[in-house]
Amino acid sequence: MNVRNGLLMVLLLSAGLLGCDDSSLTLSGLKVADFQTERDGKLTNLYVLKNKNGMEVCVTNYGARVVSIMAPDRNGKSEDVVNGFPTIKEYMDQSQNFGSTVGRYIGRILNATFTLDSITYHLTPNTGQHSAHGGNPGFAAKIWDAEQLDPSAIKLSYLSIDGENGFPGNLDVSVVYRLTDDNELDITYEAKTDKPTVVNLSHHSFFNISGDLAGTIEDEILYVNADYFTPYDSTKCVTGEFAAVEGTPFDFTVPERMGSRMDEDDPQLNLARGGYDHCFVLNTKGDVTKLAASVYDEKSGRILEVYTNEPGLQVYTAEGLRGKLVGKKGIAYPKRNSICLETMHFQDSPNKPQFPSTVLRPGEKYYSRCVYRFGVKL
């Protein structure tokens, strides 16, 4: 036994994780042992959430991410409805955001700078001259501390130190995933800081509720409760405006097949490589009881509803997937195989005073909630 493997065995024994061998299968077919490793003295693992209906969600503490969601169709058949990989090694070896918690700040902060209380902070650029998704590495590449609260809930925690990727303040972050008996994946985020800072956290699952991750979402029906969206300039940076969706391919106030207008010669669609990668301004006004968006798959009967207290919803239709990432069951995820529904504040809010503030100060508590409710139409 080499030194590294010896250390891993000691850590697993101390954590009580040995005994989950290759026969430890989840409903999704994932092996718990394939998610147990050690990096920099910290352990990764796979955690299984179940409800009384037999629904299952698998979570890893690498990136505080969802790895699989087994949801029933109208005939009661459960299928995995999110992109991902079958082992922790693949998550670590390939840069992606499948199922991750994104932070400190989802989306772009332009020119990787912002000014708060007359202090200008210079962030680590990772998208040209801009900082995106909190810089590199962001929260998606961190190993979080995990505490399984009960069979249907897990709490993951991470301390982002002062100056990490240029952000000020020691930020103490937690996310709780809870699988309810109403077939909801209820996600709550909390954070506190010891210096004024900015925070914008979100969940980044790639959903295909048909259960066919080798197919596309073009025939799925999308509804978004939003009359406006945040357009980009020619460099795909938000302009700070709210543009009306009426009369554009961005109008989903009446449910519409997602692929019906993706290929139109529209400047905003072209900026997103022929699809959607834009933030919608929700009409829900922070009321988590009001429907923010839904996706319906006619063939399976599955419907996914989104509820949130956030003002925005980033809709991304996975134009960047081109068969280069091979995931669960050997599927090479094709273009438009999934949709991301990221509840959030708007991109570049620290530099756009007309947008709702993302400032968090000492003594305050950051709180964000996103609910993904899975159902069926008979």
DSSP bridge partners of 176: 155, 188
Question: What is the Cα–Cα distance from 334 to 270, expressed in whole angstroms?
Answer: 19
Question: What is the Cα–Cα distance from 240 to 73, expressed in whole angstroms?
Answer: 40
Question: What is the Cα–Cα distance from 230 to 67, expressed in whole angstroms?
Answer: 30
Contact 268, 231 (CB under 8 A): yes
Q: By C-alpha distance, which of 328, 321, 342 is closest to 91? A: 328
Residue positions annotated with a catalytic role: 204, 342
Contact 276, 338 (CB under 8 A): no
3-class secondary-structure state, position 262? coil
How far is Cα of residue 217 from the mean position of the Cα atoms in its chain? 18
Q: How many CB atoms lie within 10 A of CB 193?
A: 26
Contact 39, 4 (CB under 8 A): no
Instruction: Read off the tokens for 172.
Output: 């103490």
Contact 307, 375 (CB under 8 A): no
Q: Specify the residue for token string 């990136």.
A: 63
Angle at 126 between CA 94 and CA 81, to 5 degrees: 40
Instruction: Read off the tokens for 336.
Output: 């438009």
Contacts of 373 (CB under 8 A, 6+ apart): 182, 183, 184, 304, 305, 306, 307
Q: What is the DSSP letter of 146?
A: E
DSSP assignments along 301-312, one per residue: -EEEEEEESSSE
